[in-house]
Each structure stands twice: as C-alpha cells, then as structure tokens.
Structure 1
Amino acid sequence: MTIIIIIFTCLVSWQAFNRPELRAKMLFYPTAVKNRGEYYRFLSHGFIHADFMHLLFNMYALYIFGGIAEATFTCLFGPTLSKLGYLLFYLVAIVASSYVSYLRHQDNPGYASLGASGAVAAMIWPYVMFDPWSWFIFPPLPAFLLGIAYIAYSHYADKRGGDNIGHNAHLWGAIFGLLAYVVLCLFLEPDILTAFVERLMEPRGMNSPRSYFDPCG
C-alpha cells in the first residue's frame, strides 16, 4: 500500500505541476473550506506538492517510515484488513494534520498549504515503536529521540514562524500519529507497546547490528 500511495501521489503531483488550475483546486485554503464548504481540500492538498524536491523528500520519507508502519498494521488488523486500516490511518492523518491550521487561518485569505508532510510525520511513531534504537545517519540520533526532537522542533519552528514551511502540519501530524497509534495498539494489540518498552530498555549503539524484530511484538 505504501508504494501505491507513493505512485498515486507522484502522478497527481506531476499533473498539478503542469496544470495550475488543478493545483489551485486542490490546495488547502481554509477560507474556501469555511466560506464555500470545500471540505475535500482537507484531503486533496496531501497529494500535491510545491515542486519536485518537495515531492521527492516527502515520498522518500514515506518509503522509509511507511514500510515499517504498514508491517505493524498487519499485526493490528490482520492480513485481510491491514491495507485498508493503513490507508485510513494515512488519510485521516492528512486531515488531522491540517485541522489546527484551519482553525488558525479560516479567516485569512492569504493562507494556503499543500503536501503530504503531515501524513508522513504520522508514520514516524509506528516506526519508532518498532525499533526505538534504530539510528539515523543525519541527524545522528536513535529513532525514539528523533521522534521526540521532531515534535519539539516542529513546535518551536511553528511558534517562531518566518519561513514558508508548514511546521504546524508537521507537529500535529506527528502528534496524531503518536496518539492514534498508541490507542490502536491498546485496543487491538497491546503486545506491541510491551515490546516497545522492552526494546527501549535495551540501548544499541549506532554501529550495533539489529536483531530481527517481530513487528507484532
């Protein structure tokens, strides 16, 4: 399902690159949602991007985090419903990550946003809970610290402002991903949370090999 989402997003984004009217129709305009009832924009903006590098970065991150997240959804929903559950999680993350921006900018006609960043941010936490001591080259942090740092920085950057990056969507996408995934695990597969705590208590260095982990805990 991750690959399907990536392919679909690339195709739609490519069309939007070449068709300004399509891009304008799919952008997240809070004023259009409020004044014209165009609620589809809560979802549509997650499938278009500002430029090729924006698209490439988001889809690469989705490929890295989404593959692990998708595997854990098999544990939550079983092999039959896992792809549907994963897809719904991704789609709801797009909406959830933009809702606070809607509340903040619903009367600001100059505000618009686009991109899958919020939904991609939601995929960080299933990855973190699968292997909290998986190290990243840049920044050189284990996954669980990266997840915490990501939320902290997104909050700081959102408050600071001054750039053209949707830090608010990153922040609330990550928060949604954390809360929603924990709730799903609590109700459907608590062993995943138990395994996360156990792995967290066993630190592993950057160059230490990872033992095979069952995504179901």
Structure 2
Amino acid sequence: MFNQPIPAVTKNLLIINGLFFLATLVFGQTGTDLGTILGAFYPESVNFRPWQIITHMFMHAPFPNISHILFNMFALWMFGSTVEHALGAKKFLILYFAAGLGSFVLFNFTNYLQVESLKPIVEASGVNIQDLILNASNPNYRVNTTNIEATRELAAYYRTPMVGASGAIYGILVAFGVLYPNAKLALIFLPIPVKAKYFIPVLIALEFFMAIQNYAWNPIAHFAHIGGAIIGFILVRSWKKNLHREW
C-alpha cells in the first residue's frame, strides 16, 4: 500500500509546500516575513487578506522549527499517495483544499467565540477595542489596562497568523481511515501496529481534548486539525460508495 509511486497531485503538493518553505527562508533573510503576508490572520485583523484563506495551507513555521513541515510532508507522502490512488487526482485535490478550508472555518469560528467573550472584559479594563485591533501587531504599542492578561490574549488573536498544511493533512488522514479502516499503522511514537479505524479516532479525540484545554503554552491550532478531519470524513464517506477497487 505504501510502496506505490507518488502520484501527480501529491507530488506537486509536496513540491509547492517545499517551495513556500524555501521562499520563507529566502525572504526572511531580507527582513520580509512571508508568514504575515501568506499566513491566515483572524478576519477582523488589519493583517487579514482574502488570499490567506488559501495560501496559509502551504506555509509552515520557519527554520529552525523544521519539525512542522517535516511531519506534515511525511504524512502527505505516506497517506496522500494511497488516498490519491484510491480517489483519483480530481477528488484528491478537492479533498486537500476542502479540508484546508474546513480547518480555517472551524478554527476561526472558535476564535470568534473567544474574541467576542474577551471584548467586553478588555473594554471594561479601559481599552479601546478598535485601537487595540489597529495596533495589535505594533511591537511599540502600549496600552493602559486593569486586566493585562485578557488584553494580551485578545491582542494575540489579531496579531498571530495560522500557518500550515495540517488541516488538509488531517482531512487526508481521516480519508485514509475511512477508505482503509483495517490497515495497520505503526508510527515512531507508537511502534505497535494499530488498525486505522481505532488509531485515527483516538488521535482526533486527543486533538479535541487538547483544543478544549486551551493551554497558553500550546501554539498548535487543534481546532484547525479537527475542522480538516470533519471535512475529510464527510467527503470521503460520500465518495466511498462509488469507488471500485480491490480491498
């Protein structure tokens, strides 16, 4: 299953992600942060641009944090090749982008709930919300507030972009589980083979658990992963009955 040649769409997605990462390194040397241009900001942020809804899927944390892109590209190669062979190029491409969009939507919906709950708290602390939105990304911006923690948390929603192919990858991972539920997976941190129909739901459950904990130290967009997983499940469940292949 995993020894098949890399099909065209998966190969090109690997190349595009690699080129974006290389461009991030090159432009970074000139002082241009592509993460602020191509990463996806919260839609109310002054840094948000419509193209970010698509481009964030190809952006990853810059060097030296290469584990982000390495893990995603390994998963894209490992599962994407098999899923593309099963679905065909067109459906696989739809899956990748639809899961990426689903991750953006769910992530920002949960952000919206958090932001709207913080606004009255921060406003009551003496902060002008519109002023905060306009200046959240300015490192020299200073504000007088009686609730510094809530103010910092609200500002972070406006100045921190979401980057990564993880939402699309989770859509592909779930698609693999739907298509090949009895395939046994043995990963580095779990060397014992476990069937995909058990492993993947547990992984998604862990993502949900981490998402609702909302740890301040945890920079991972867990709800983005869940959004991609949901779209992957819905799409492939609807397509599976029309697929004809050997099991």
When the two structures are superposed, what TM-score results if normalisation uses the length of structure 2?
0.68
Higher helix proportion (structure 1 or 2) = 1
* 1:49 maps to 2:60: yes
Could you tell me the percent identity over the aligned residues? 21
* 1:23 maps to 2:35: yes
Q: Distance in 2 between matches of 1:35 and 1:99?
A: 18
Q: Distance in 2 between matches of 1:62 and 1:157?
A: 23
Residue aligned with 2:186, SS: coil
Deviation of 1:36 after TM superposition, in Å, equals 7.1
- Residue in 1 aligned with 2:178? 129
Q: Say if 1:151 and 1:175, in contact at 8 Å, map to a contact too.
A: no
- Residue in 2 aligned with 1:8? 16
Q: Say if 1:125 and 1:147, in contact at 8 Å, map to a contact too.
A: yes
Which one of 85, 92, 96 corresponds to residue 86 of structure 1?
92
Q: Specify every segment of 5 or more residues in structure 1 that has no aligned partner in the other structure, as ranges.
A: 75-82, 193-212
Residue aligned with 2:36, SS: helix
After superposing on structure 2, the runs of 4+ consecutive aligned residues of structure 1 that deviate more than 4 Å are: 34-37
CA separation of 1:31/1:4 partners in 2, compared to 1, >3 Å: closer, same or farther? same
Paired amino acid for 1:130 = L
Which one of 143, 147, 150 corresponds to residue 196 of structure 2?
143
When the two structures are superposed, what TM-score results if normalisation uses the length of structure 1?
0.76
Note the alpha carbon deviations across 1:42-82, whole angstroms, 9 max, x for none.
111110100322111100001111011101113xxxxxxxx
Which one of 59, 62, 67 corresponds to residue 76 of structure 2?
62
Q: Say if 1:158 and 1:167, in contact at 8 Å, map to a contact too.
A: yes
Q: Say if 1:96 and 1:172, in contact at 8 Å, map to a contact too.
A: yes
Deviation of 1:182 after TM superposition, in Å, equals 0.7
Paired amino acid for 2:212 = K
Q: Say if 2:96 and 2:168, in contact at 8 Å, map to a contact too.
A: yes
Q: Distance in 1 between matches of 2:204 and 2:57?
A: 20
Deviation of 1:91 after TM superposition, in Å, equals 1.1
Q: Distance in 1 between matches of 2:36 and 2:25?
A: 11
Which one of 226, 230, 240 corresponds to residue 175 of structure 1?
230
Choose 1 or 2 for highest CA Rg. Answer: 2
Q: Larger relative contact order (C-alpha < 8 A, sep ≥ 6)?
A: 2
Paired amino acid for 2:94 = L
Q: Say if 1:31 and 1:105, in contact at 8 Å, map to a contact too.
A: no
Q: Distance in 1 between matches of 2:106 and 2:163?
A: 14
Q: Say if 2:41 and 2:161, in contact at 8 Å, map to a contact too.
A: yes
- Residue in 1 aligned with 2:147? none
Higher strand proportion (structure 1 or 2) = 2
Q: Distance in 2 between matches of 1:23 and 1:6?
A: 19
Paired amino acid for 2:102 = A
- Residue in 2 aligned with 1:104? 110
Which one of 210, 213, 216 corresponds to residue 160 of structure 1?
213
